[in-house]
Structure 1
Amino acid sequence: MFKNMATKRKHVVAATEEITDNSADILNKHASDDGRDDEGFSDTTDSEESVYSGLEDEEDTSDEEPEDESDEENEDRDADGRSEGEGVAPRDETESTPSGSAAADQVPQTDEYEHDSSDEEDIRNTVGNIPMEWYREYPHIGYDILGRRLIKPKKGDELDEFLNKVDDPDYWRTVTNKLTGQNVVLSKEDLDLINNIQRSRNPMGSETMFQPWIEYFTNETMIHPVTAHPAQKRSFIPSKWEKLKVGQMVHAIKMGWMKPPKVPDSDEEEKEEPEEEQPTYFNIWKDDEEPEITRRYRQHIPAPKMSLPGHEESYNPPSEYLLTEDEEKKWQEQEPEDRRLKFLPQKYSSLRLVPGFARFIQERFERCLDLYLCPRQKKIRMNVNPEDLIPKLPKPKELQPFPTTQSVIYRGHEGIVRCISVEPSGQWLASGCDDKTVRLWEVATGRCMKTLQMGEKVKSLAWNPNPALCLVAVVLEQSVVVVNPGLGDKLIVSNTDTVVAAFQPPQEEAAGKKVPVEWELCTGKEHQSGFRLRMKHPKEVSYVTWHGKGDYLATVMPKGDSMSVLIHQLSKRRSQNPFSKSKGLVQKVAFHPIRPYLFVATQRYVRVYNLLKQELTKKLMTNCKWVSSMAVHPGGDNVIVGSYDSRLSWFDLDLSTKPYNTLRHHKKAIRQVCYHRKYPLFASASDDGSLIVCHGMVYNDLLQNPLIVPVKVLKGHVTTGGLSVLDCEFHPTQPWVFSSGADATIRLYT
């Protein structure tokens, strides 16, 4: 039965492909001369067709035979020394061809269903599932299982086709098998099968849909019944879940979201001849075009597929997949749900030594539990190209100028050079070192112009930004010294001394008012060396910075508690404490270049205070463990913060209090960050021995974000005692950068 069903299925597929809208030409074919005579034998006009594995051909009405076929076959015979078909004697071109009953005697009749089976396709033509149009220009149609060519059956012209259409009563039900070129006459059962498929009915008919009921249990009352439990409640109460589901579907039908399928009228009489019926077509890709609302009501979510086995599941895995004794012991101590592998990889020399899987039944049971107990949910995945997520940055060559080459090395210090500062015109450079000296250098030549003995280690220094004054503030242990280096224009140097000496002390202050800083005027040898003022602090001072106008400077005392930040006025020689309470361990301070704002950086936060209103304006979240340095953009709307955990955070004050961008290019702690006054550049110095220069363009358009692009990594300093580059600063007018390091050198990159 299965054999016949498989054979019918093949003919039905061939028949349905050739059905057209015209009922008279439902099963029309192009040109096929294969048929059967009344006696059931086929007439072959050429013995070479016997090579075609027993396929019958109709008698051809034309007497012409292509010479190409015979020539090609003769070449094959000459090459092989025999004919293509086994058991078939070679034949000369001039040999006469038997016909009629003589041909039937020579060619045995074979069953065309001989090679059919219920689980495999037709093996007479082994070309596979390919377009048969590829053999259109060839004399053969494929190859059999032995590799021999299958010669195409002869075809007649249009006149023969018309005569067959008129004379043959079974012409309308004859189809052509594309794989073999055979003509097959469909039986009544095949036609019924096609009609049932077109009408969306059971292909085999409704007679075999329901099998006869077999009463395994009798309806008579038994003394000892098989099951004596009472009927369950769910057996006679409607299901609530089905009620909800049906209610949803009814509501969808009412709203027009779901349309029920059209049921054909059962009272309609079936017509005997299929050519009079209108063909019905079905879209087999209907599920893909189904609206989302209908899919949601169906709620069919396929089960997730199991992951494919890897190398560790092999019976002879590589050595790197095998667990060591420590790893195996650790695997045994873990909970089953915490284990990365559900089994221990083992190695066997051959497959026959592999035992059965001990956890097979348990694993299958857990898989079944997952399939019907675990809830499923559809998640929409976005197919995004990872390259599209990366912003398209300009090339570094397009962002020039920026420093690229080490040009000058300033040598002379004998210890760690902790701080540097450039004169506002860019002609002179000041540096402070642990050898208790401050050296003044000429930038262009690298010559040391003056050396000042400070008596204590220099922790920080800053050149006055006012070009009309020639002053440098130097931080020692507990004091800040204001020095006149005496370099540059002599008129500016003399005017600076005049401004410092023109101070007149005010009247005595009210009693009880605490003065946090003591101001002293330097005299004698200190005055001759260039010292002008000394400000003594109660605690150690770590940092000093000037206001843009050059009259105010701020100092940082990390251990000063409420006096951690002090602001000093040079012209009036007074100091004030802007804060009454300590907000944390202060690291750096900076003045806003335009507005009366003060930036105070603690270990994890940067607070922005309005000095006029005396209130907190913003609190920036650095997302760092320990802030080491801070710099304010010349425009005042952007701030960069460096930290000891190798992070550089860029803040846009108009955008958010969180970092706009975080750079992690350094491998060790960042010691200093700085902005260029004119060019869109900023740099960061780190203990990994590198100085990274980045392009940071800030636009006037508030809708356009800043452009941050790393352009150059500068190296040259030698790491000494775990420290490398400690300070960096840009040239005020040129795209140059200075750096000082623990190797007692200062380097200029241009």
Structure 2
Amino acid sequence: MGSKRNARAETKLVEQAEASSDSELDAEELYLSSDDDADAAVGPAPEDGSTSDDADDESEEGSEQDSEEEGGSLDDELDRAVVDYIADRGGTDDPAETSGRPPGEPGEAEVAETRPVDPGSDSSEDERPNRNTIGNVPLQWYKDEEHIGYDKEGSKLIKRERRDRLDALLARNDSGKEWRTVYDEYNDEEIVLSKEEMQLIQRIRAGQFPHIEVNPYEPEVDWFTRETEIHPLSSAPEPKRRFIPSKWEEKKVVKLVRALRKGWIKREKKDESEEPPAYLLWQDDGMVAEKTATGLSYIPAPKPKLPTHEESYNPPKEYLPTEEERAAYELQEEEDRPQFLPQAFDSLRKVPMYSNFIQERFERCLDLYLCPRTRRKRFDIDPESLVPKLPKPRDLQPFPSALMLRFRGHKGKVLSISVDPTGQWLASGSSDGSLKLWEVRTARCMHTWALGGPVHCTAWCPNNALRILAAVVDKKVVLLPSGTGTEEVEAAAVQALKLTPAASEGDSKLAHWQARDDGQGVDIVHQHLVKSVTWHGRGDYFASVAPTGNTQAVLVHQLSKQATQNPFRKNRGRVVRVAFHPAKPFFFVATQNHVRIYNLAKQALAKKLIAGGGITSLAVHPTGDHVIVGSEDKRLAWYDLDLSAKPYKALRYHTYALRSVAYHRSYPLFASSSDDGSVHVFHGMVYQDLLTNPLIVPVKILRGHERVDHEGVLDCAFHPTQPWIFTAGADGDVCLFCN
């Protein structure tokens, strides 16, 4: 008996599932095709999810009574059979599963429940308010909560229990209202659509008016001419005034005739053909086109200048000329004199006639009709946009800003200074013929050499293993052991300065190497006065400059071989300074007007930099790609060797000629010293990106020297490791500025 019931239940369930899966009818079609009994009562769905159809309830109760009479346990067996069948089929016949939504939830094509609306208003605000009052917020916020929001009283709206797939399947197949039930996710309730609402949806989908009482094709009714009148509105006869002339018009005509006779009204004359007037034959010869951009060929004359304070009849006293200025005015030529001298009068009636009035008006007339006029376009440019935006100096620290120490001991002008590679010792040469060695941190003079002449230049050997000091005195380049290193370093320096027989016995036409009289160091005697000396980065080669030497102006010396050579047969211009490239075999030669860069490996000219004139100093950037040049015309020029042969930046901040320029070895700093007694420190950042131009910002002006005989700061040098700078002045002092 149980097997038969299971088979019967399974057969019934299969038929329902196939009917539900094969049916493609919409909700409204299924509803419209149902019986009148099923559509009789439509209302909101009960909260427990069951339908409210009385007929269905009666049929279900009747079936339950029948089943109880048959066996009393038919429902239990039927439920078990349905569960077994669903488990065997894997739930594939569940429409909720095939549609991809959770069981018990409505489909995509859902229609909101219509609520009672005020017939006197077409606003949606009259609809029944929502049960949920959370507002227009995402419902995902309440996904993991047990409630979906709050009602008007602030109470939580607890989520309904969702039906499982089996209950959803049975409710969909057994109930006729499930197909017209939609789920309101916002209020968490199910709404059953009525028959009128289903018809409304069907008409909208068919492209018709939603309401059936609206007829868009009503017959046209002519409200005004649909009925023909038989009698006229007024059958009065025409008045007499319609057939006689108007007396008022007669008065107007008489008035116009009288005005024409007396000439009060003039008739328009016809245009008579007249000969064209005379015109200037060469009026527009200077114009490119017949009309200018404004549409007119006439250019107004420039207005005369307005009078100033000095043209007043009683100007301030500072505008009145002195006796010396009057005498200078009388000595000038008439063409160079000012037009008048300011005078003071007590009152305006005492002012005499201006003697040059007629002459000035005559010259003004000459300018008006003889001088050509042109229009100049004026560009409205914001002045602030022309000023480059530079960082503030306080953001570019560290840089030297305060005077820390003052080295005193020279009796004459300090012409040159040099710092050893360790930064512990400082050498200074003076015009009194002394070369002093100072300790940087204590400003103590450790040793003094009397060289017998002005020391124009000093330079430390970059090789720390030698500690050799070079100085320029008259026609000699003196190499001295500094005595600042260990015993091994001092022994190496003495051995390097020990003359070889070939060097001492040789008779070179360029320079002669000889030992000093005191036995310490070597003298390299030139044929001309030497002004400067510079070392190569490795410390073996050094070059000397003798500006008056013509073909022997630049000589290169080698310390290891104690030999001298002339790299140039001819020098084009007076050589002022030379410098070695820090990494490449390039040699910089600065004349008064140009800076030539020679490739020593190829023995050819690599580049020629154009300067303004009067070059006095030269410095090469540690990367070797940039050069700064100081000149007598008060300019500091920065050259980018990869950019152009002309200066990248020309800085003119000094008031007198520049004497020295220097780069810092490790910090982005460079400086220039001048005869005005000041040292200007700049921030010069060089980027590795070749597309980014160097950043040059003036950061500090240092003043610590007094001008003597129109000379100020003669030399400057940076500390090799610290942001410090040493300056040598004509007052005989050496100053140390620190950050």
2:661, 2:672 within 8 Å by CA — same for their partners in 1? yes
2:310, 2:342 within 8 Å by CA — same for their partners in 1? yes
Identity %, equivalent residues:
51
Q: Which amino acid aligns with 1:392?
A: K
CA apart distance, 1:678: 0.7
Q: Distance in 1 between matches of 2:345 and 2:378?
A: 41
From the superposition, tell whether residues 375 and 438 of structure 1 become closer, same or farther in structure 2 (CA, over 3 Å): closer
2:553 counterpart residue number: 564
Q: Give 3-state SS (helix, strand or coil) of 2:490's partner.
A: helix
2:592 counterpart residue number: 603
From the superposition, tell whether residues 307 and 451 of structure 1 become closer, same or farther in structure 2 (CA, over 3 Å): closer
Q: Distance in 2 between matches of 1:301 and 1:570?
A: 77
2:683, 2:698 within 8 Å by CA — same for their partners in 1? yes
Residues 263-662 of structure 1 correspond to what in structure 2 (within 5 A)?
Answer: 295=293, 298-318=296-316, 340-341=338-339, 349-352=346-349, 367=364, 370-500=367-497, 505=502, 515-521=509-515, 526-527=518-519, 530-531=520-521, 533-624=522-613, 626-662=614-650
CA apart distance, 1:359: 6.8
1:515, 1:575 within 8 Å by CA — same for their partners in 2? no
2:499, 2:515 within 8 Å by CA — same for their partners in 1? no
Q: Give 3-state SS (helix, strand or coil) of 1:587's partner.
A: strand
The one-character-per-residue Cα deviations of 1:447-469 (angstroms, maximum 9, x if unpaired) are 23333343443222211112232
Length-normalised TM-score, structure 1: 0.56
1:248, 1:297 within 8 Å by CA — same for their partners in 2? no
Q: Distance in 2 between matches of 1:435 and 1:362?
A: 66
Q: Which amino acid aligns with 2:393?
A: P
CA apart distance, 1:718: 3.4
From the superposition, tell whether residues 639 and 236 of structure 1 become closer, same or farther in structure 2 (CA, over 3 Å): closer
From the superposition, tell whether residues 407 and 506 of structure 1 become closer, same or farther in structure 2 (CA, over 3 Å): closer
Q: Distance in 1 between matches of 2:459 and 2:671?
A: 18
Q: Which amino acid aligns with 1:735?
A: P
Q: Which amino acid aligns with 1:542?
A: K
From the superposition, tell whether residues 205 and 211 of structure 1 become closer, same or farther in structure 2 (CA, over 3 Å): farther
Q: Distance in 2 between matches of 1:506 and 1:336?
A: 73
Q: Give 3-state SS (helix, strand or coil) of 1:387's partner.
A: helix
Q: Distance in 2 between matches of 1:437 and 1:357?
A: 70
From the superposition, tell whether residues 659 and 322 of structure 1 become closer, same or farther in structure 2 (CA, over 3 Å): same
How many residues are matched? 473
CA apart distance, 1:401: 0.4
2:48 counterpart residue number: none
From the superposition, tell whether residues 733 and 298 of structure 1 become closer, same or farther in structure 2 (CA, over 3 Å): same
CA apart distance, 1:737: 1.0
CA apart distance, 1:414: 3.3
Residues 729-748 of structure 1 correspond to what in structure 2 (within 5 A)?
Answer: 729-748=717-736
CA apart distance, 1:516: 1.2
From the superposition, tell whether residues 702 and 339 of structure 1 become closer, same or farther in structure 2 (CA, over 3 Å): farther
Q: Which amino acid aligns with 1:308?
A: L
CA apart distance, 1:308: 3.3
Q: Give 3-state SS (helix, strand or coil) of 2:727's partner.
A: strand
From the superposition, tell whether residues 206 and 354 of structure 1 become closer, same or farther in structure 2 (CA, over 3 Å): farther
Q: Give 3-state SS (helix, strand or coil) of 1:740's partner.
A: strand
Q: Which amino acid aligns with 1:747?
A: C
Q: Distance in 2 between matches of 1:237 and 1:719?
A: 75
The one-character-per-residue Cα deviations of 1:576-616 (angstroms, maximum 9, x if unpaired) are 11121232322211111122222122223222222222222
From the superposition, tell whether residues 359 and 730 of structure 1 become closer, same or farther in structure 2 (CA, over 3 Å): closer
2:663 counterpart residue number: 675
Q: Which amino acid aligns with 1:439?
A: K
Q: Distance in 2 between matches of 1:516 and 1:612?
A: 22
Q: Give 3-state SS (helix, strand or coil) of 1:449's partner.
A: strand
Q: Distance in 2 between matches of 1:238 and 1:743?
A: 78
Q: Which amino acid aligns with 2:459?
A: A
Q: Distance in 2 between matches of 1:335 and 1:206?
A: 69
From the superposition, tell whether residues 580 and 348 of structure 1 become closer, same or farther in structure 2 (CA, over 3 Å): same
1:121 counterpart residue number: none
CA apart distance, 1:346: 6.0
Q: Distance in 1 between matches of 2:442 and 2:526?
A: 37
1:84 counterpart residue number: none
1:749 counterpart residue number: 737
Q: Kindly name which structure, 1 or 2, has the bigger radius of gyration based on alpha carbons.
A: 2
User: Residue 716 of structure 1: which of 684, 689, 704 is its match?
Assistant: 704
Q: Which amino acid aligns with 1:470?
A: R
Q: Distance in 1 between matches of 2:322 and 2:603?
A: 66
2:433, 2:455 within 8 Å by CA — same for their partners in 1? yes
From the superposition, tell whether residues 608 and 301 of structure 1 become closer, same or farther in structure 2 (CA, over 3 Å): same
CA apart distance, 1:697: 1.5
**Are residues 1:684 and 2:681 paired?**
no
Residues 13-412 of structure 1 correspond to what in structure 2 (within 5 A)?
Answer: 207=267, 295=293, 298-318=296-316, 340-341=338-339, 349-352=346-349, 367=364, 370-412=367-409
Q: Give 3-state SS (helix, strand or coil) of 2:489's partner.
A: helix
1:630, 1:642 within 8 Å by CA — same for their partners in 2? yes
Q: Distance in 1 between matches of 2:279 and 2:564?
A: 89
The one-character-per-residue Cα deviations of 1:469-527 (angstroms, maximum 9, x if unpaired) are 22111222222222222212333333334455596849999xxx9641112245xx733
The one-character-per-residue Cα deviations of 1:403-435 (angstroms, maximum 9, x if unpaired) are 112222223333332222111121222222334
